[in-house]
């Protein structure tokens, strides 16, 4: 395995990233809302010589929260997405795809900054924090999931939207996201290749296939790199397949396209390490980004 997989993970960098790994986003852990039960009541003082009959405790009935109401169309989208999550939880050898995007000097389809060697990637988001950073460098605060430019744009420019499957829904399907998740802008970032990895047991980015199992520790630049990759992968796996809030993470280097009945293979996907310095190239709204 190439040292480019985790070349940025020296002792200090790994320590920083370990902190990011251990910090689970708020959406990853369900927190039960407190039951709406009043605190212990304090009886008001009674007048002298007045007998106060005992009062039986009140019975408080808490109505269950109503389930979301879906139209038949929305219910079908929800069913298909949940089926994708269930399917993705078990990765099989037959699902390995051997034409993943390769990130190396020989891939002429990559968009590179010749001066810095950085690679141009795209992330789809609803966060507006990038809007004022175009042309500037910034440091990522968490792992950022991306695809390689121009793969997403090529797909959406060629797609003809329909009433049943509008553009945004088709992109949600392509990238393995639930319908109506609110993402509305595509951000292009210049990223050092050494700070990218495949979200897979086999994180190497310089070949075109991701294996089902993690390589031996000897395949990594160091034991520390191996342990960090293993722990990151295991944490993500433990969070990804919740019946209500999970995602169809393939773990095979590509997004799960739950809108394609012929093939679940979407785009090659990568992750940018937390605490990576990137340069924001552009921020574009969905419709403008996908104009033919």
For 188-229, the three-class secondary structure string (H helix, E strand, C coil) is: EEEECHHHEECCCCCCCCCCCCCCCCCCCHHHCCCHHHHHHH
| Chain Cα centroid distance, residue 212 | 20
pTM over 0.85: no
Residue 236 lies in a domain: yes
- pLDDT tens digits for range 46-63: 444 434 344 444 343 434
State the pLDDT at residue 37: 31
Residue 85 lies in a domain: no
Contact between 89 and 239 (Cβ < 8 Å): no
Domain of 209? 94-292
Weakest mean pLDDT among 67-81, 89-103, 108-122, 242-256: 67-81
Give the 3-state secondary structure of residue 281.
strand
| Chain Cα centroid distance, residue 40 | 44
State the pLDDT at residue 160: 96
**Residue 68 binned pLDDT confidence (cut-offs 50, 70, 90):** low
Q: What is the DSSP letter of 170?
A: H
Count up the domains in the chain and report the number.
1
Residue 143 lies in a domain: yes
What's the rounded mean pLDDT across residues 249-272? 98
State the pLDDT at residue 46: 40
- pLDDT tens digits for range 23-36: 333 333 333 333 33
Backbone angle region of 117, left / alpha / beta, with phi > 0 → left and psi within -120 to 50 → alpha:
left
Read off the tokens for 256.
């799960």
Residue 68 lies in a domain: no
What's the rounded mean pLDDT across residues 168-195? 98
Backbone angle region of 278, left / alpha / beta, with phi > 0 → left and psi within -120 to 50 → alpha:
beta
Residue 117 lies in a domain: yes
Residue 69 lies in a domain: no
Residue 22 lies in a domain: no
Residue 83 lies in a domain: no
- pLDDT tens digits for range 36-47: 333 333 333 344
**Residue 171 binned pLDDT confidence (cut-offs 50, 70, 90):** very high
Q: For all residues of the chain together, what is the average pLDDT?
A: 83
What's the rounded mean pLDDT across residues 63-81? 78
């Amino acid at each position: 395995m190439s040292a480019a997989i985790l070349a940025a993970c020296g002792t200090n960098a790994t320590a920083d990233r370990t902190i990011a790994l251990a910090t689970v986003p708020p959406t990853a852990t369900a927190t039960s809302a407190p039951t709406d039960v009043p605190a212990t009541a304090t009886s008001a003082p009674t007048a002298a010589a007045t007998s106060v009959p005992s009062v039986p405790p009140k019975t408080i009935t808490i109505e269950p929260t109503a389930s979301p109401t879906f139209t038949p169309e929305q219910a079908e989208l929800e069913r298909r997405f949940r089926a994708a999550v269930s399917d993705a939880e078990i990765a099989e050898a037959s699902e390995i795809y051997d034409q993943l995007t390769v990130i190396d000097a020989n891939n002429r389809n990559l968009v590179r900054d010749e001066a810095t060697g950085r690679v141009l990637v795209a992330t789809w988001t609803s966060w507006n924090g990038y809007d004022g950073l175009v042309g500037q460098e910034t440091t990522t605060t968490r792992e950022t999931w991306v695809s390689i430019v121009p793969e997403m744009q090529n797909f959406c420019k060629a797609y003809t939207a329909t009433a049943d499957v509008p553009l945004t829904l088709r992109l949600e399907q392509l990238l393995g996201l639930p319908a109506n998740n609110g993402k509305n802008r595509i951000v292009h970032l210049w990223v050092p290749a050494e700070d990218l990895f495949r979200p897979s047991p086999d994180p190497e980015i310089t070949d075109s296939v991701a294996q089902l199992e993690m390589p031996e520790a000897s395949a990594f630049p160091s034991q520390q790199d191996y342990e960090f990759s293993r722990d990151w992968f295991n944490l993500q796996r433990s969070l990804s397949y919740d019946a209500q809030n999970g995602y169809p993470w393939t773990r095979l280097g590509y997004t799960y396209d739950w809108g394609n009945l012929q093939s679940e293979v979407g785009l090659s996907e990568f992750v940018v390490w937390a605490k990576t310095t990137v340069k924001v190239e552009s921020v574009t709204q969905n419709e403008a980004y996908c104009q033919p």
